[in-house]
Amino acid sequence: PAPAEGSSLEPGQLGLLLAPALGFDRRGIRLGYGGGWFDRLRADAAWRAIPALAVLPRGCLQELLPQDPWDVPFQGWLDETGLHWLTQD
């Protein structure tokens, strides 16, 4: 979300995007908190180009989550066991 004060970040200012998640599957689909904030942000190609990781407890990994047409898969996740990158097909 945008900061309460000051200017918003631009995509070129970040090298990695971290997003909290309630669930995540091995296709890179993230279940968030229902606000659609990261979906709207990552609809922009400049933001989509930044590697994105979901942050969640390992117990929240799922085999398969529903995918909506606007979902942009994340490149991996971060949990208490470490950083996990998804392989490119």
pLDDT digits (tens, 9 = 90+) for 25-35: 999 999 999 88
CATH code: domain of residue 61:
3.40.50.10420
Q: Following DSSP, what letter does each residue of 10-43 receive, concatenated?
A: -GGG-S-EEEE-SEEETTS-EE--SS-HHHHHHT
Residue 4 lies in a domain: no
Q: Name the amino acid, one letter, at 69.
A: P
With respect to residue 10, please indicate whether it lies within any of the assigned structural domains.
no
Are the CB atoms for 25 and 63 separated by under 8 Å? yes
Count of structural domains, the chain: 1
Q: Which of 51, 57, 2 is nearest to 28 (CA)?
A: 51
pTM, rounded to two decimals: 0.86
**Residue range 64-78, pLDDT digits in tens:** 999 999 999 999 999
Is residue 3, in this structure, part of any structural domain at all?
A: no
- Spans of the chain below 50 pLDDT: none
